[in-house]
A and B are shown apart, each in its own frame.
Chain A
Amino acid sequence: MQKPPQLLPTKLEDGQAPGIRYRIDGELVPVLHTWLDGRARRPTRAAL
């Protein structure tokens, strides 16, 4: 039997990747908080 699609986490307390830490908060209109350590060679980008 096929496994049904799984709900992705709606909150994330301590996300990390090279040069950045982040957190996702909120239920209805969630917010992504990021902390940049300044060591990344290329900046974080977002759609305007």
Chain B
Amino acid sequence: MDGPAGPRERRFSARRAFEAFLSIPVRAMKGAFKRMVAGMPIFLTEAQGPGEIAFSRDGAGHLFPLHLTPGTAVLVREHQFLAATGNLDYTFNRVKGVSNMLFGSTGFFVDRFSASHQEGVLWLHGYGNVFEKQLAPNEQIDIEPGGWVYRDETVRMEVQMFGLKTGIFGGGGNMIWNRFTGPGRVGIQSMYLHLPTSE
């Protein structure tokens, strides 16, 4: 299913920020150029209290928090990030090659959020509803590439590719899965929505 593409989809709306002392500066992200080329968000807004601020996203889905305790990290698929407390550390990686097999493009971003000294909160958005699978050590689950939202850093991800050689799909290409191996959590969204990453 194709959805709204481009920066509009990834925009958040700050609907209310109505206490006088709330300041909301905007700053560019590190690596902004790479993200801009790939059609990803390149600016972050920062809200400094005291005050109230609300966020939403112009897409039907599910918002949920992930609380990160010191020393933990999660990896988040591109387009799923909504907001985070400022005490979390943030980096991102470009996963090359994998999405060659996913969507006909040449790479996608995985955001990494980690807590170093203090608990922090990360809020993510998934399409449809979001389910969490807790994987035991060496337990595995295969998920369609557009279906996962986040995973603990302890969870390993590999691409599984199956050639379609027989039946009505014979010669029709490959079937791709992401295989996740525990221990740790994997978040899964029930609605498959691929936001094209222009390259």
Contact = CB atoms under 8 A, between A and B. Distances in A.
Interface in A23-48: 24, 26, 28-48
Contacts of B82: 32, 46-47
B131 A48 contact: no
B54 A34 contact: yes
B119 A8 contact: no
A22 to B, nearest CB: 7
B45 to A, nearest CB: 5
Contacts of B21: 38
Contacts of A38: 21, 48-51
Interface residues of A, number: 39
B44 A45 contact: yes
Interface residues of B, number: 56
Contact of A30 (B11, B52, B61): B61
B81 interface: yes
Nearest to B130: A8
B158 interface: no
A47 B41 contact: yes
> Which secondary structure characterizes the binding site on chain B?
strand
B123 interface: yes
A48 B50 contact: no
B62 A30 contact: yes
A43 B11 contact: no
B121 A47 contact: no
Given A44-B53, A46-B12, A18 B119 contact: yes
Interface of B: 10-12, 14-15, 21-22, 26, 41, 43-65, 67, 81-87, 90, 118-121, 123, 129-134, 139, 186-188
Interface of A: 2-10, 12, 15, 17-20, 22, 24, 26, 28-48
Given A26-B56, A33-B54, A48-B26, 11 more contacts: A5-B132, A18-B87, A18-B118, A22-B123, A28-B60, A34-B54, A35-B51, A36-B22, A44-B49, A46-B44, A47-B81
For the complex of A and B, 4 pairs with smallest distance between CB atoms? A36-B49, A42-B86, A38-B50, A5-B131
